[in-house]
């Protein structure tokens, strides 16, 4: 058990005892961690008596505590005041004050500096005043008034005393009032009486009052059942009505005011038809000339009839709230709530529970505080001493500081880790705390929350610990690269800062706003942006908010390009509107600007065209140009207007010109290059014979055209008489048709002298043209002819003859031969007159050739072309095709491919032949190499350098096999000659050289008396005969014959001739 010092009070037997801090102590509320309140000093009246209600009212000032007892002196009704003072670190009872008569001290008590005031309203309406003189408190003055309930509430501040008289009656209405007294240095004198301006509404003013600085607050009720607080202000020595405060649907009482002019009051709320009582505390804060409701304070475990706010006291930056009916530990055990001031709001700091939990003790019935101590009373105790006061020294709570990181980096560190007396992560209010973050490489500080400077992006920050738990979050942001680019003439945009703090140059965190400044070249402007917050702007500055990825910001520059204006011919230069693009200098424009142009040609001059405009073909005096991305030139072309004279001869109307004039020219005037349509109109029986001065005088139509030359000009037409033209035929067919059907201006079938008339014959099927009469070419056999109209009526005739059919065919793969021409003139397609020479062209498929013809003038030809002279009957021709097959030629060994003769069959591509073609091959071995065989020839076993092939009817391949010529060395041992080799060499090899696989016969030649003892390097070295063989390996080789001498043994025989032995090898 922890105990405090016991101070025994002598004289009248009062004492102060230490108390145990049992299981009660301090609750944790809303995750707030507080230091357990220090053990309180327990104050009791040694002369206490049941029903004294010791601690019914409390008042404190600096190191003095006043405890009021409702009764005293063994239960008599006069009551008493108990004065305690702190001397050093200890509290001592110093004095007991009694009323001057038997009035019961039931009203409020207050103390300020050396003055104590207490209301005494049981039998008299009076207020008693005490003053401290030479260390002793003495009764000094009694204040009496006639106002009803005078002394119900009292409050001291400075040299002012406010006394509530809620029973004051004005006009038969109990409005209540507050009486103000002022200390004149020796006594308290009446100053003024404060009453409501609206006596019809306000009731019971002054039930509670409180003074602080120049603000006075008092409670009131209304005639319609409401209640609230009235605030008066002081100007000089005069008090005036300021405002009222209240809460809808809540009954306000027990008001108090702080040194900061904040007002707190208990509110009672009735809910539902059962009118269940809930209590809360409301706080108002001054805002200019008004007071704002800033907080509603209420327990989380609120229950009815617990009287939260029964006692209220501002204590510095804190607010003490008594809850005498709190049932948390025991029924009506009570509690005190300690709140601390935030930013115009109040937060719960601690809940102080009764140090000695006992049912119905109502801890927190009255609270007070001053300096660094506060006190709370129990309304009842154990029925013996009946009342107890707990006095607490100031204690500094610990609040949890939670450190959180977001993103990649180390945990956030605090310095220090905790306040003295707090666990790790716990800090006292107002404690300065330094914070350090450490992001991973490529990350930086993106922001903070919960610090003194949440806008900081540095790795360090700080906070002053508030009067509540706090979470601090550091956000690590990844650094992303921001690159820049531009189009047009200028530089990349320049960022306002090269990186986010902590990032490498050119990298930024998400959300960083980077101001960009464009740098266009001279005479260039910003036309747009890309990758910025506003790509549509054309200002030289912009902003990009960095996304969560590498990013590209671009600026597009548009040049102010010059526009030069000129003309050719006689007139003005074009005039441009506007004279420049906005922000560009005179005569300069941005790309895409639409510029209007206007010109004025001189007299007899007009516009024939433009250059560099949107409509260069226009001949109007206005035009426009859309400015390109570069310096540009516009020119207008003026031309002089030339006269056009129109003449005619013969019988007919004058010529008409369309248009009658060029745009801008007078009637009958045209500019060079103008295309003019001229229309003739001969009289009846007359036609057009010729034109002069037109683009094509040879045309004799009714309409002529003229491209106006660069001078005055004349156009004439000659009208002439129309003559009839008759057509006729002989044979099977129709009369030839004339085209045109008549000269311009003449009726059909009539032509003017000299008009060229085209004629077209139409023979019947199987017939053709054999001749003409009355034409310009009577010998022609074509179906077309012409006649130049003589000066008079005329007839033209055609003669038709029989046509014979020509059929064609083919064998092999390909198409029938093509005939040229496809018919004789006047005959149907595929029909010809006898004697017609027709050219034929064969059409073999790829890899096929012509091998013969039939029905042609040269059937032996193998050419792709031939001819046939058409006989006097139907006829048939054909072409024979055969295929060309490819022949592949290769070799093995050292040398070249064999040479083929011929290189191809006639008509075939190189290396291709038709079946049956005889092909000769010549091998080409390398030096010291020879032929040892062939593949795919007529004689594959041949080792000769030449061979042949009869081409088969498939794609085919031929190959020659080369082998190197190796040396064969022949030797012997013993008496005799080297063996003889047959053949002496492989074909194509030098003497004593052989190709691999060559079979070579060997013959030994021993000396007389010597024979064959053996061989080495042969196919059979065990042979002892004079002959042997060797198959040439694929390398130089050595063969030797071993000769041995014959030994003759004579054993009773006569020595004979031994030459036969050597011949037989015995």
pLDDT for res 304: 72
Tokens of 513: 């706003």
Query: What is the C-alpha separation between 106 and 118, in angstroms, rounded?
Result: 8
* Residues 293 and 248: beta-carbon distance below 8 Å: no
* Average pLDDT for 70-95: 80
In a domain, 771, yes or no: no
813 with 951, same domain?
no
- Cis? peptide before 659, omega within 30° of 0: yes
Is 734 buried (19+), middle (13-18) or exposed (0-12) by CB count in 10 A?
A: middle
| pLDDT class of 24 with cuts at 50, 70, 90 | very low
147 with 190, same domain?
yes
* Residues 389 and 322: beta-carbon distance below 8 Å: no
**Coil, strand or helix: which one is 387?**
coil
* Average pLDDT for 639-663: 93
End-to-end CA distance of the chain: 143
| pLDDT class of 13 with cuts at 50, 70, 90 | very low
Q: Which residues fall within 8 angstroms of residue 612, CB to CB, at 6 or more apart?
A: 625, 632, 633, 634, 635
In a domain, 749, yes or no: no
Query: What is the C-alpha separation between 620 and 626, in angstroms, rounded?
Result: 17
* Average pLDDT for 114-122: 84
Share of residues in the chain with pLDDT > 70 (%): 91
- The residue among 386 and 215 whose pLDDT is bigger is 215
Task: Please identify, among 587, 610, 639, the residue that sits at the C-terminal boundary of a domain.
Answer: 639
pLDDT for res 1051: 53
| pLDDT class of 381 with cuts at 50, 70, 90 | low
- Residue whose structure tokens are 């034929």: 840
pLDDT at 1041 over 50: yes
pLDDT for res 103: 55
Which candidate, 255, 52, 77, 259, places its Cα nearest to that of 153? 255
Of 256-265, 794-803, 899-908, 937-946, the range with the lowest mean pLDDT is: 256-265
132 with 209, same domain?
yes
Residue 214 neighbours by CB distance under 10 Å: 16
88 with 213, same domain?
yes
Task: Provide the pairing of β-strand 551-559 with 470-487.
Answer: parallel
- Cis? peptide before 983, omega within 30° of 0: yes
Provide φ and ψ at 1059, rounded to 5°: -65, -30
In a domain, 263, yes or no: no
Beta-bridge mates of residue 551: 482
Which candidate, 441, 476, 442, places its Cα nearest to that of 457? 476
* Average pLDDT for 49-77: 80
Of 71-75, 142-146, 849-853, the range with the lowest mean pLDDT is: 71-75
pLDDT at 446 over 80: yes
| pLDDT class of 38 with cuts at 50, 70, 90 | low
Q: What is the pTM of this model?
A: 0.44
pLDDT at 380 over 60: yes
Query: What is the C-alpha separation between 473 and 467, in angstroms, rounded?
Result: 18
Q: Read off the CATH number of the domain in which 140 is found.
A: 2.130.10
pLDDT for res 872: 85
Query: What is the C-alpha separation between 12 and 93, in angstroms, rounded?
Result: 10
C-alpha angle 597/601/607, rounded to 5°? 70
Provide φ and ψ at 865, rounded to 5°: -115, 150
In a domain, 716, yes or no: no
Tokens of 517: 């400044």
| b/e code 821-847 from CB counts within 10 Å (16+ = b) | eebbbbbbeebbbeebebebebebeeb
The separation between CA 927 and the C-alpha centre of its own chain, rounded to angstroms, equals: 74
* Average pLDDT for 228-248: 87
pLDDT at 723 over 90: yes
In a domain, 1000, yes or no: yes
- Residue whose structure tokens are 């001291």: 156
Task: Please identify, among 639, 668, 702, the residue that sits at the C-terminal boundary of a domain.
Answer: 639
pLDDT for res 1062: 40
- Residue whose structure tokens are 């039939």: 854
864 with 935, same domain?
no
- The residue among 701 and 344 whose pLDDT is bigger is 701
pLDDT at 1063 over 50: no
* Residues 400 and 466: beta-carbon distance below 8 Å: no
* Residues 11 and 47: beta-carbon distance below 8 Å: no
| pLDDT class of 1055 with cuts at 50, 70, 90 | very low
C-alpha angle 122/123/124, rounded to 5°? 105
Query: What is the C-alpha separation between 1021 and 1031, in angstroms, rounded?
Result: 13
Residue 72 neighbours by CB distance under 10 Å: 25
pLDDT digits 0-9 by tens, 458-511? 999 999 998 788 999 999 999 999 999 999 889 999 999 999 888 999 999 998
Query: What is the C-alpha separation between 879 and 809, in angstroms, rounded?
Result: 7
pLDDT for res 632: 95
566 with 607, same domain?
yes
pLDDT for res 929: 94
* Average pLDDT for 653-670: 92
pLDDT for res 411: 94
865 with 928, same domain?
no
Beta-bridge mates of residue 221: 203, 227
Q: Which residues fall within 8 angstroms of residue 619, CB to CB, at 6 or more apart?
A: 606, 607, 608, 609, 662, 663, 664
Tokens of 355: 């140090």
Count up the domains in the chain and report the number.
Answer: 5
pLDDT digits 0-9 by tens, 515-549? 999 999 888 888 899 999 999 998 899 999 999 99
Q: How many angstroms separate the most distant Cα atoms in the chain? A: 200
877 with 901, same domain?
no
C-alpha angle 845/846/850, rounded to 5°? 60
- Residue whose structure tokens are 């005031």: 117
Task: Provide the pairing of β-strand 767-773 with 794-802.
Answer: antiparallel
Q: Which residues fall within 8 angstroms of residue 315, CB to CB, at 6 or more apart?
A: 369, 370, 374
Query: What is the C-alpha separation between 69 and 86, in angstroms, rounded?
Result: 20
Query: What is the C-alpha separation between 600 and 607, in angstroms, rounded?
Result: 9
pLDDT for res 679: 95
pLDDT digits 0-9 by tens, 581-601? 887 889 999 888 999 999 999
pLDDT at 385 over 70: no
929 with 1016, same domain?
no
pLDDT at 143 over 80: yes
Residue 995 neighbours by CB distance under 10 Å: 26
* Residues 38 and 394: beta-carbon distance below 8 Å: no
891 with 1034, same domain?
no
- The residue among 329 and 541 whose pLDDT is bigger is 541
Q: What is the CA radius of gyration of the chain?
A: 68
What DSSP state is assigned to residue 964? E
> How distant, in Å, are the alpha carbons of 70, 779, 785, 873, 874 from that of 825?
152, 13, 11, 17, 17
Task: Please identify, among 883, 904, 935, the residue that sits at the C-terminal boundary of a domain.
Answer: 883
pLDDT for res 612: 96
pLDDT digits 0-9 by tens, 955-993? 999 999 999 999 999 999 999 999 999 999 988 899 999
In a domain, 411, yes or no: no
149 with 183, same domain?
yes
Query: What is the C-alpha separation between 471 and 491, in angstroms, rounded?
Result: 46
Of 16-25, 113-122, 127-136, 828-837, the range with the lowest mean pLDDT is: 16-25
pLDDT at 1060 over 70: no
In a domain, 117, yes or no: yes
Query: What is the C-alpha separation between 503 and 515, in angstroms, rounded?
Result: 17
Is 400 buried (19+), middle (13-18) or exposed (0-12) by CB count in 10 A?
A: middle
Q: Structural domain of residue 387, as residue ranges?
A: 7-25+34-219+233-242+303-336+354-393
Query: What is the C-alpha separation between 985 and 979, in angstroms, rounded?
Result: 14
Looking at every residue in the chain, the average pLDDT score rounds to 86
Of 377-386, 426-435, 1022-1031, the range with the lowest mean pLDDT is: 377-386
What DSSP state is assigned to residue 710? S
Q: Cα torsion for 33, 39, 45, 48, to the nearest 10°?
A: 70
pLDDT digits 0-9 by tens, 866-900? 999 999 899 999 999 888 899 999 999 999 999 99
- The residue among 693 and 356 whose pLDDT is bigger is 693
pLDDT for res 582: 82
151 with 69, same domain?
yes
pLDDT for res 23: 32
Of 70-79, 195-204, 244-253, 707-716, the range with the lowest mean pLDDT is: 70-79
In a domain, 215, yes or no: yes
Query: What is the C-alpha separation between 924 and 428, in angstroms, rounded?
Result: 109
pLDDT at 191 over 80: yes
**Coil, strand or helix: which one is 578?**
coil
pLDDT at 628 over 80: yes
Query: What is the C-alpha separation between 169 and 204, in angstroms, rounded?
Result: 9
């Amino acid at each position: 058990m922890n105990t405090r010092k016991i101070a025994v009070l002598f004289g009248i037997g009062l004492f102060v005892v230490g108390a145990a801090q049992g299981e009660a102590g301090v609750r944790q509320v809303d995750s707030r961690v507080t230091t357990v309140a220090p053990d309180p000093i327990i104050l009791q009246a040694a002369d206490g008596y049941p029903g004294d209600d010791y601690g019914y009212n409390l008042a404190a000032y600096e190191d003095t505590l006043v405890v009021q007892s409702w009764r005293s002196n063994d239960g008599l009704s006069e009551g008493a005041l108990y004065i305690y003072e702190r001397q050093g670190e200890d509290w001592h009872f110093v004095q007991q004050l009694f009323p001057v008569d038997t009035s019961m001290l039931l009203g409020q008590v207050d103390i300020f500096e050396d003055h104590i005031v207490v209301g005494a309203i049981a039998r008299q309406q009076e207020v008693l005043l005490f003053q401290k003189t030479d260390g002793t408190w003495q009764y000094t003055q009694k204040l009496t008034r006639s106002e009803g309930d005078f002394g119900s509430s009292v409050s001291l501040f400075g040299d002012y005393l406010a006394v509530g008289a809620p029973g004051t009656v004005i006009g038969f209405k109990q409005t209540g009032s507050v009486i103000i007294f002022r200390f004149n240095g020796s006594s308290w004198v009446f100053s003024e009486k404060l009453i409501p301006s609206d006596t019809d509404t306000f009731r019971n003013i002054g039930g509670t009052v409180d003074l602080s600085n120049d603000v006075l607050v008092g409670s009131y009720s209304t005639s319609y059942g409401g209640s609230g607080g009235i605030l008066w202000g002081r100007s000089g020595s005069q008090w005036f009505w300021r405002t009222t405060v209240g809460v809808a649907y809540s009954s306000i009482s027990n008001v108090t005011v702080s040194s900061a002019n904040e007002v707190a009051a208990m509110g009672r709320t009735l809910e539902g038809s059962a009118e269940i009582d809930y209590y809360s505390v409301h706080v108002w804060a001054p805002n200019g000339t008004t007071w704002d409701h800033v907080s509603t304070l209420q327990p989380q475990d609120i229950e009815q009839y617990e009287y939260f706010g029964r006692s209220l006291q501002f204590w510095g930056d804190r607010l003490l709230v008594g809850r005498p009916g709190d049932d948390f530990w025991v029924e009506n055990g009570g509690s005190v709530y300690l709140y601390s001031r935030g930013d115009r709001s109040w937060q719960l700091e601690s809940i102080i529970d009764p140090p000695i939990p006992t049912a119905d003790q109502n801890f927190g019935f009255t609270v007070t505080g001053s300096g660094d101590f506060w006190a709370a009373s129990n309304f009842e105790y154990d029925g013996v001493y009946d009342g107890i006061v707990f006095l607490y020294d100031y204690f500094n709570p610990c609040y949890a500081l939670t450190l959180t990181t977001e993103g990649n980096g180390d945990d956030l560190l605090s310095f220090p880790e905790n306040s003295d007396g707090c666990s790790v992560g716990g800090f006292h209010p107002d404690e300065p705390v330094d914070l350090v973050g450490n992001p991973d490489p490529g990350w930086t500080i993106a922001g903070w929350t919960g610090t003194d400077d949440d806008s900081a992006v540095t790795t360090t920050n700080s906070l002053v610990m508030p009067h509540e738990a706090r979470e601090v979050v550091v956000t690590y942001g990844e650094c992303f690269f921001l690159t820049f680019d531009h189009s047009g003439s200028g530089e990349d945009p320049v960022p306002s800062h090269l990186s986010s703090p902590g990032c490498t140059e050119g990298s930024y965190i998400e959300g960083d706003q980077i101001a960009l400044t464009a740098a266009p070249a001279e005479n260039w402007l910003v036309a747009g942006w890309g990758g910025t917050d506003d790509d549509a702007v054309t200002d030289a500055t912009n902003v990009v908010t960095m996304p969560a990825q590498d990013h590209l910001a671009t600026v597009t520059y548009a040049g102010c390009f010059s526009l030069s204006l000129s003309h050719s011919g006689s007139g003005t230069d074009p005039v441009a509107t506007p004279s420049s693009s906005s922000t560009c200098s005179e005569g300069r424009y941005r790309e895409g600007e639409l510029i209007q142009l206007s010109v004025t040609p001189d007299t007899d001059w007009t516009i024939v065209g433009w250059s560099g405009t949107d409509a260069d073909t226009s001949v109007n005096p206005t035009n426009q140009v859309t400015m390109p991305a570069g310096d540009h030139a516009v020119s207008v072309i003026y031309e002089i207007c030339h006269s056009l004279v129109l003449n005619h001869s013969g019988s007919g109307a004058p010529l008409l010109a369309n248009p009658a004039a060029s745009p801008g020219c007078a009637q009958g005037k045209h500019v060079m290059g103008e295309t003019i349509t001229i229309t003739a109109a001969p009289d009846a029986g007359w036609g057009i014979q010729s034109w002069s001065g037109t683009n094509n005088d040879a045309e004799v139509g009714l309409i002529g055209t003229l491209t106006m030359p660069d001078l005055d000009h004349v156009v004439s037409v000659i009208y002439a008489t129309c003559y009839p033209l008759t057509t006729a035929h002989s044979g099977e067919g129709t009369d030839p048709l004339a085209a045109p059907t008549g000269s311009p201006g003449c009726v059909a079938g009539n032509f003017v002298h000299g008009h060229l008339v085209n004629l077209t014959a139409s023979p019947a099927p199987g017939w053709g043209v054999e001749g003409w009469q009355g034409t310009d070419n009577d010998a022609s056999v074509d179906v077309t002819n012409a006649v130049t109209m003589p000066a008079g009526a005329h007839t033209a005739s055609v003669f038709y003859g029989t046509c014979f059919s020509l059929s064609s065919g083919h064998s092999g793969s390909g198409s029938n031969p093509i005939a040229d021409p496809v018919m004789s003139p006047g005959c149907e397609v595929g029909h010809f007159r006898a004697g017609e020479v027709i050219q034929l062209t064969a059409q073999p498929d790829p890899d096929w050739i012509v091998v013969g013809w039939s029905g042609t003038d040269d059937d032996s030809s193998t050419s792709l072309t031939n001819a046939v002279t058409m006989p006097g009957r139907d006829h048939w021709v054909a072409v024979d095709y055969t295929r060309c097959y490819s022949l592949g030629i290769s070799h093995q060994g050292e040398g070249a491919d064999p040479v083929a003769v011929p290189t191809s069959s006639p008509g075939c591509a190189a290396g291709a032949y038709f079946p049956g073609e005889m092909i000769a091959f010549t091998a080409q071995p390398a030096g010291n190499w020879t032929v040892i065989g062939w593949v795919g020839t007529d004689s594959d076993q041949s080792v000769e350098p030449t061979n042949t092939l009869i081409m088969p009817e498939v794609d085919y391949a031929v190959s020659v096999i080369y082998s190197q010529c190796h040396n064969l060395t022949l030797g012997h041992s013993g008496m005799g000659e080297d063996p003889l080799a047959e053949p002496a060499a492989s074909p194509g090899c030098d003497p004593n050289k052989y190709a691999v696989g060559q079979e070579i016969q060997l013959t030994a030649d021993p000396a007389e008396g010597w024979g064959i003892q053996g061989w080495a390097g042969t196919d059979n070295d065990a042979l002892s005969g004079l002959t042997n063989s060797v198959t040439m390996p694929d390398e130089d080789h050595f063969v030797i014959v071993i000769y041995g001498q014959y030994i003759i043994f004579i054993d009773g025989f006569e020595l004979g001739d031994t030459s036969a032995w050597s011949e037989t090898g015995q």
